[in-house]
Amino acid sequence: MEIRITIGEPNEETIGQVALLHQQGIARGFLSSLGTGFLSILYKAISRSPYSGVAVAMDGDTVAGFAAVTLSTKKMYSWIFRRYWFRLGFPFIIKCLSPEKLMKALQTIGYGLLRKQYGVTMRPCAELLSIVVAKNCRKKGVGRKLIDVVDEFFLRKKVEAYCVVTNAADSVSNSFYLSNGFRLNKKFHHHKILMNEYLKDLHHFPGKPLPDRNAAETTL
């Protein structure tokens, strides 16, 4: 299996696969309940924002995994809301007609814009928003290589550390982050679910070699 990983704006077909993979891999998340159409628009916006990016691992024409990152959740969501409020707002409002779903929606927005109130550290602002590997591509080094690309992205942006949040009950996810250089920073509740926030310090490796700045892809 030859995996190519690129960071940039994926084409429409790739974005659709990323959206479906998000929905399958993060099935319990509120954003997944909004459908693949919503997720496609969201990931396209994330890839276009100057404050974020999407790394996609391709196995031929099939998405083997992806990772979405941001330099600042607040700046990224503010940029996206200003430009995509109508396309993202309509399905968002439809899904929030019940009080329970409205509360989840407000909590989701609040996490991105008001992280301090949700018990999440304000520094670093940089964050790994999501990472998913297709079931048939797991345990083949795809996730590790995506983390390497994420590290390189942040190092280029002079970021010394970044965080990621995952369900505290997901042993596979927690083990993955611990084995890839993250350390547990704190616990908090989101949507009444206990979450773990992990940090990864990059300043320990100031001399880490980076690929050619003009290189468009990384091969595993």
- Looking at the whole model, is its pTM more than 0.95? no
CA distance 188 to 115: 11
Superfamily for domain range 3-219: Gcn5-related N-acetyltransferase (GNAT) (3.40.630.30)
Taking alpha carbons only, the member of 108, 134, 126 closest to residue 18 is 134
Residues 6+ apart with CB under 8 A from 16: 36, 40
Give pLDDT, residue 117: 45
User: What is the domain partition of the chain in residue ranges?
Assistant: 3-219
The residue type found at 134 is: A
Please state, rounded to an integer, the average pLDDT across all residues of the chain. Answer: 83
**Where do we find the tokens 């927005």?**
109
Cis (ω within 30 of 0) for the bond into 50? no
What are the structure tokens assigned to 187, written together?
């616990």
pLDDT at 206 over 80: no
Three-state SS at 187: strand
pLDDT at 130 over 70: yes
Give pLDDT, residue 30: 78
Please answer whether residues 171 and 136 qualify as being in contact, where contact means their C-beta atoms are separated by less than 8 angstroms: no
pLDDT at 18 over 70: yes
CA distance 220 to 199: 25
Give pLDDT, residue 61: 93
Model confidence pLDDT, tens digit, residues 110-121: 555 445 544 444
